[in-house]
Amino acid sequence: MMFAAAHHVQEVIAGLVSVVFPPHCLLCRTPLEAVGPEEALCAACGAALPVHPLPAIAPADLAWVRAACRYDGAAKRCVLRLKYDARLGLAEPMARRMLAAAAAVPTWATDAVLPVPLHAVRARERTFNHAGALAAVVGRGLGVPVLAGTLVRTRPTAPQYGLDARHRQRNVRGAFTVQRPATVRGRRLLLVDDVLTTGATARACARALTAAGATEVGLLTFAHG
pLDDT (tens digit per residue) in 130-176: 999 999 999 999 999 999 999 998 876 555 455 545 555 565 666 78
49-224 folds as: Rossmann fold (3.40.50)
Q: Do 178 and 208 meet the contact criterion of CB atoms below 8 Å apart? A: yes
With a CB cutoff of 8 Å and minimum separation 6, the contacts of 74 are 27, 45, 48, 49
pLDDT of residue 11: 40
Return the percentage of the chain with pLDDT > 90, whole number. 47
CA distances 117 to 53, 193, 202, Å, are 23, 9, 10
Residue 66's DSSP bridge partners are 220
pLDDT (tens digit per residue) in 187-203: 999 999 999 988 888 99
**Max alpha carbon distance in the chain (Å)?**
65
More confident residue, 24 or 96: 96
Lowest mean pLDDT among 40-49, 114-123, 182-191: 114-123
Domain ranges for the chain: 1-47, 49-224
